[in-house]
A = this chain, B = another copy of it.
Amino acid sequence: MFPPKEFLTRIAGVQSRMQAGGFAALLLTQDADIRYLTGFLTRFWESPTRPWYLVLPAQGLPIAVIPSIGAALMGQSIVQDIRTWSAPDYHDDGVSLVIETLREVAGSGKIGTPHGIESHLRMPLADWARLSDALEIVGDDAILRAARMIKTPAEIDAIRAACAVAGRAFERAPEIAKAGTPLSEVFRQFQILCLQEGADWVPYLAGGAGADGYADVISPANDTPLSQGDILMLDTGVIKNGYFSDFDRNFAVGAPKADAERAYETLLNAMQAGEAALKPGNTAADVFHAMDRICTGGAGGQSAGRLGHGLGLQLTEGLSFIAGDHTVLEAGMVITLEPGVSVSGGAGLMVHEDDYVITDTGWERLSPAPPEQLVRLSL
């Protein structure tokens, strides 16, 4: 869905960082990194069996070293050099082929692979040991992470489209959630709304409900029916053209407790404080502190561990709004603000989240403006 030049631009951006860091090749094993550079989009990553490798030279197009099952789809991407094996192969699941490719591309030059926060090794550790015996592979100095953090206009458009889908689904939530509806049914119907509104798929939905908010923000649904006075929170990540939205909405089943209403007001105040700090030159920590002052009076944190994060090819990626993240904000970064507050003296918590892109002068909203008061669901 993106033109080839989009990927050529991304590749050139990563390669210029590679040259600055003296890398002859990068080895990539993860969906988001491989997709970033090639557009290779498949839900088949859900199957853990086969490893997939992309080798990026310091110049020229990347080389795919992949199971033959993916050759036809990879052939539609900008990648021209596609090397395959019949996977799974219990004796040599692409290891020799990727070693040979890395030797050919890098010679005796430096080979890097993502090894810092958020990166995983999407291949068996035993195969990694074989690779490491044959070749020295070091960390990539967070090149991929840094490159992916600044979005292209096409990426921002894709995230905006995903946010619009989720926004329309949240608008319609009162159609499917009211007193008596089991939370599991709310979750199921909400995913249907996301699809009806144009999501390609719905990789993420979490939430909770209770009179004092909820116990956490990562739980799946149980079958408890919504009750009068409950605060319902739904937090979704929908995919549109390979890019995520990630924001939530809180609803009240009839009239909420005063504590919950106050908590919602505090959350919106924290959002405004975060927005005021959201501009190029400020750091992620600045934004954290601006929100944390409102949420906790400056206590410095809470159980979620952060008050927002980067967003794009993954539900969460790049910077974190924590006291320890000194990333300087730049135009093109797409982020979520996600403050949380405790309700009724810690009986529960409430969290609000919205999505933004940093601009030259501040920010632009990607998710719709949140309701000024808790939206009421029917009794």
Contact = CB atoms under 8 A, between A and B. Distances in A.
A237 interface: yes
Contact of A200 (B187, B215, B219): B187
Interface residues of A, number: 80
B303 A68 contact: yes
A369 interface: no
14 contacts: A42-B206, A47-B314, A47-B315, A49-B117, A49-B309, A49-B317, A50-B305, A69-B305, A70-B218, A72-B219, A72-B303, A88-B117, A115-B129, A192-B195
A188 B200 contact: yes
A152 interface: no
Contacts of A139: 125-126
Nearest to A122: B120
A192 B196 contact: yes
Interface string A83-103: 000111111010000000000
Given A47-B204, A48-B317, A70-B218, 14 more contacts: A43-B220, A44-B206, A48-B315, A49-B118, A49-B316, A69-B303, A71-B303, A116-B124, A120-B120, A121-B125, A188-B196, A200-B221, A201-B202, A203-B203
Given A88-B322, A195-B191, A309-B49, A43 B203 contact: yes
A123 interface: yes
A379 interface: no
Contacts of A189: 195
A237 B325 CA distance: 38
A221 B1 CA distance: 11
Nearest to A223: B1
Interface in A110-166: 113-126, 128-129, 139
A75 B358 CA distance: 38
